[in-house]
Chain A
Amino acid sequence: MKEKKCRHWNALPFRPVVGFTAVLVLGGPMMKTARAAPDSSGVDGGGWTIEWDGTLRGEVALRTDPPRALSKERNLVQLRTVAAGAGPIAVTVAVRGFYDAAYDLTDRYPKEVEHALGSEGTLREAFLEWSREALSIRVGKQQVVWGEAFGRFLTDIVVPKDLREFILPDFEYIRIPLWMLEGTWTRGDAAIQAVLVPDLKYSVFAPQGADFAPRPEGPAGQTIVDATRKPSRTWRNIESGIRFSCLRSGWDVSALAFRGFDDLPVSFRRIDSAPGGGSIVHMTPGPVRLTTVGGTVSKGRGRAIYRGELAYDFGRWFPSTRPAEEDGVARADLLGVIAGVDLALPRRSTLGIQILHQEVIGSSAGLKGPAGPTALLLRGMLWEARGRWSAGLEAHFGLDGDSMIRPRIGYRFTNGLQAEAGFDLFAGPPDSFYGQFSEEGRFDMEISYRFSAGFR
């Protein structure tokens, strides 16, 4: 049960302020550093140049659906440094950590949720880059991002995702960096990028009891979910991918292929006889291989940027109710397509419109296909005033009558300091992609401070 003892947020009159205050107190002394940055940073010269930047952020969320309570009071620190020599070598290291006081201020959440979302410290990036002429190689922990679309991941398939807050955070935050080798060779307006990924990780979801935990699946009754198996670290299991891109007559086209493992473990079913009669269902989540090919295209014309993505998964596993599938899953190919346009409007406003569709190829009878297979996605920066105020909207509409609406308003105080507030609202049937969180609507606000400096 998600709700244990619920403390309403209005019973905690000023505690969220503590986090914000911490951000400001910590951030204030660093403002001089931020202003001094550009004059001392550079791209060339003798010796090494060290640049660093960081973010302090306080985030507060209050549920708008019952129980109306504090659901997040996160204080986040992110630091990143890049050291570049006069030669072809550069080193990048980034760390991120957060503490979410909401899990100590309320006992509404189970221990598993507190453990998963209460605090965290991670090494986000640690890679060495060597580049000369047309060739660039990066080795270490990093993100590699493919794709053109916003709002959903179709060809952005190299790294797994942190979906503990669904798809609400920035995508840079959502992507989980992996240890890998990446190389890019460039010739004119064409480039070939190759990746080798020995670091195998699954996407991460919030545990049951959290606000954005996915709906539990599996048959009702006596079900035992075994520990999730991970792919063994062998040479054969190293993931690999290649992406070719070129620009011709304004058409930015790429083709990509990636062979590895599905970011989501597949639950194979086994039914055993129970000692006292009846049966016990065992679900064993485990790794499955997956090969994806696809491509992206974009073309600018005047104020419009047209973009598209296509991805074809060979042999993805889906939950199945077919009697012949004893393990409860079946394989089928999956085609995904995204088409959209971004419009540059007057006064620095922008509007992006995008349509997503995913289709199981072949017979889909008895298969539970991909979540949210068809959706209309809108994203706009609709208004800006005096270079300080801004208002935006992100809206997703699914074919199942489900939706996610996110109006936001932002204010930029001084260099580096800004605030944002808005709603994350969901609607639709409980088994739909967005509707599964129809009782998890929230008002959220954040204040963040970014700073940077450089040394030579």
Chain B
Amino acid sequence: MRRGDRPDVWTIVLGLVILWADASLVVASPGTLPEAHEVVERADDIRNPALSYTAEVRITTVAATGREDTSLYRVFIKGRSRSFVEFLEPAQYKGMALLMSGDDSWLYLPSIGRATRVSSYQGLTGNVANGDIARLNFLEDYEATGVVADILDGRDTYRVMLNARRPSVTYRQVALWVERETFRPLRAEFFTVSGRLLKTGVYGDYRDVLGGTRPTRLTLQDATEGGGRSIMEFRNFEKKDLPDRMFTRTYISRPR
């Protein structure tokens, strides 16, 4: 090769810098794909930042018949693996509380006056399981096994397949669609052990909260025939330094 055909040193350095910068942004140009776990990590950062904060969640369940039911919860979240949920409405559930710490969950029932251990699979209301409101961590709960480019409602997305790391995780498999440009989660499909589609989640109503633009609405559509849908709307976010003792079984076992 003649000298004039070879790129000089500065050209190589510049090329490497551009490549490094490109990789660090994980914004893949068309035709290249980021690592699956990076996509999930960035989507998790948007959907559920590793902060200490509180919010209110209103869940509206619309049955197949059209009848609506609403319930209201106050959630306290610390990091990505600890959450505490107070039941506010309807009034007959007031006083109940749900604690999730890692893979473990407890439900406080005023009628028995103590907390009992429950499964994250257990239904909370409508199509919402305990794990949907209190456990929001895809990266730690699921192994991202592959990423493909996809188009969802006319938007360029990455579709990531997630397999549960442990039996205690709420769903056995999840397909997650993340917007290519912003890494915003757009849609998730939740599957059973047998591979049957259980429900579909759609993330929406992005707003500036907790120092970033984040989804404040999750619509869960029951995939079974005749199933209804539940809309989870998050409001009144507030950063707050929550004490560790709040996320213990002893704390939830005491009447509030």
Q: Mark B212-256, 1 if CB is under 8 A from A, else 0.
A: 000000000000000000000000000010011100111101111
A37-B250 in contact (CB<8A) = no
Cβ–Cβ < 8 Å partners of A449 in chain B: 91
In-complex Cβ contact of B91 among A147, A348, A451 (8 A): A451
What is the bound-complex CA distance between A350 and B91, given in angstroms? 22
Q: Nearest chain-A residue to B167 (Cβ)?
A: A302
With A307-B117, A342-B118, A387-B126 known as contacts, the answer to whether A418 contacts B243 (CB < 8 A) is: no
B117-A184 in contact (CB<8A) = no
B76 nearest CB across to chain A (Å): 8
With A43-B74, A53-B95, A186-B244 known as contacts, the answer to whether A145 contacts B119 (CB < 8 A) is: no
Indicate if B38 sits at the interface (CB-CB under 8 A).
no
What is the bound-complex CA distance between A133 and B101, given in angstroms? 19
With A350-B122, A387-B63 known as contacts, the answer to whether A193 contacts B250 (CB < 8 A) is: yes
B122-A348 in contact (CB<8A) = yes
B192 nearest CB across to chain A (Å): 9
Q: Nearest chain-A residue to B164 (Cβ)?
A: A302
In-complex Cβ contact of B90 among A170, A186, A416 (8 A): A416
A191-B248 in contact (CB<8A) = yes
Indicate if B56 sits at the interface (CB-CB under 8 A).
yes
Cβ–Cβ < 8 Å partners of A37 in chain B: 88-89, 91, 94
In-complex Cβ contact of B122 among A35, A142, A245, A344 (8 A): A344
A416-B101 in contact (CB<8A) = no
What is the bound-complex CA distance between A34 and B167, given in angstroms? 39
In-complex Cβ contact of A300 among B67, B74, B168, B254 (8 A): B168
Cβ–Cβ < 8 Å partners of B253 in chain A: 145
What is the bound-complex CA distance between A350 and B111, given in angstroms? 17
In-complex Cβ contact of B92 among A191, A347, A386, A412 (8 A): A412
Cβ–Cβ < 8 Å partners of A359 in chain B: none
Cβ–Cβ < 8 Å partners of A350 in chain B: 122
What is the bound-complex CA distance between A92 and B250, given in angstroms? 18
Q: Nearest chain-B residue to A35 (Cβ)?
A: B89
What is the bound-complex CA distance between A184 and B250, given in angstroms? 8
Q: Nearest chain-A residue to B118 (Cβ)?
A: A305
Indicate if B104 sits at the interface (CB-CB under 8 A).
yes
B112-A150 in contact (CB<8A) = yes
B117-A41 in contact (CB<8A) = no
Cβ–Cβ < 8 Å partners of A451 in chain B: 91
With A148-B116, A172-B110, A451-B91 known as contacts, the answer to whether A191 contacts B123 (CB < 8 A) is: no
Cβ–Cβ < 8 Å partners of B56 in chain A: 38
What is the bound-complex CA distance between A76 and B123, given in angstroms? 30
From 52 to 107 in chain B, residues with beta carbon under 8 angstroms from any chain A beta carbon are: 54, 56, 61, 63, 65, 67, 69-70, 72, 74, 88-92, 94-95, 101-105
A143-B255 in contact (CB<8A) = yes
Q: Mark A354-392, 1 if CB is under 8 A from B, else 0.
A: 000000000000000000000000000000001100000
A352 nearest CB across to chain B (Å): 9
Q: Nearest chain-B residue to A193 (Cβ)?
A: B250
Indicate if A304 sits at the interface (CB-CB under 8 A).
yes
Indicate if A303 sits at the interface (CB-CB under 8 A).
yes
With A44-B240, A416-B92 known as contacts, the answer to whether A250 contacts B102 (CB < 8 A) is: yes
From 395 to 411 in chain A, residues with beta carbon under 8 angstroms from any chain B beta carbon are: none
What is the bound-complex CA distance between A178 and B256, given in angstroms? 17
Indicate if A247 sits at the interface (CB-CB under 8 A).
yes
A82-B104 in contact (CB<8A) = no
From 149 to 170 in chain A, residues with beta carbon under 8 angstroms from any chain B beta carbon are: 150, 156, 170
Cβ–Cβ < 8 Å partners of A348 in chain B: 122-123
Indicate if A171 sits at the interface (CB-CB under 8 A).
yes
Indicate if A298 sits at the interface (CB-CB under 8 A).
yes
A245-B117 in contact (CB<8A) = no
Indicate if B114 sits at the interface (CB-CB under 8 A).
yes
What is the bound-complex CA distance between A338 and B116, given in angstroms? 15
Cβ–Cβ < 8 Å partners of B254 in chain A: 136, 138, 184
Cβ–Cβ < 8 Å partners of A228 in chain B: none
With A43-B74, A150-B112, A302-B119 known as contacts, the answer to whether A34 contacts B91 (CB < 8 A) is: yes
What is the bound-complex CA distance between A348 and B107, given in angstroms? 14
What is the bound-complex CA distance between A172 and B112, given in angstroms? 5
Cβ–Cβ < 8 Å partners of B67 in chain A: 386-387
What is the bound-complex CA distance between A367 and B1, given in angstroms? 104
B114-A416 in contact (CB<8A) = no
Indicate if B113 sits at the interface (CB-CB under 8 A).
yes
Indicate if B125 sits at the interface (CB-CB under 8 A).
yes
Cβ–Cβ < 8 Å partners of A43 in chain B: 54, 74
What is the bound-complex CA distance between A73 and B183, given in angstroms? 61
Name the residue in A38, A193, A451 with the highest tally of chain B Cβ atoms < 10 Å from its Cβ. Answer: A38
Indicate if A448 sits at the interface (CB-CB under 8 A).
yes
A300-B117 in contact (CB<8A) = yes
Cβ–Cβ < 8 Å partners of B114 in chain A: 145, 147, 156
What is the bound-complex CA distance between A156 and B253, given in angstroms? 13
From 297 to 322 in chain A, residues with beta carbon under 8 angstroms from any chain B beta carbon are: 298, 300-305, 307
Q: Nearest chain-B residue to A304 (Cβ)?
A: B119
Q: Nearest chain-B residue to A453 (Cβ)?
A: B91
B168-A302 in contact (CB<8A) = yes
A412 nearest CB across to chain B (Å): 7
In-complex Cβ contact of A415 among B54, B91, B121 (8 A): B91
B111-A171 in contact (CB<8A) = yes
15 contacts between A and B (CB under 8 A): A34-B89, A53-B95, A145-B113, A170-B112, A172-B112, A186-B244, A186-B250, A250-B102, A300-B105, A387-B67, A387-B125, A415-B92, A417-B92, A418-B92, A452-B91
Q: B interface vs A, CB < 8 Å?
A: 54, 56, 61, 63, 65, 67, 69-70, 72, 74, 88-92, 94-95, 101-105, 110-114, 116-119, 121-123, 125-126, 167-168, 240, 243-245, 248-251, 253-256
Not counting A171-B111, A252-B104, a sample of 10 additional A-B residue pairs whose C-beta atoms are within 8 angstroms of each other reads A44-B240, A147-B114, A186-B248, A189-B101, A191-B249, A247-B101, A344-B122, A387-B63, A387-B67, A452-B94
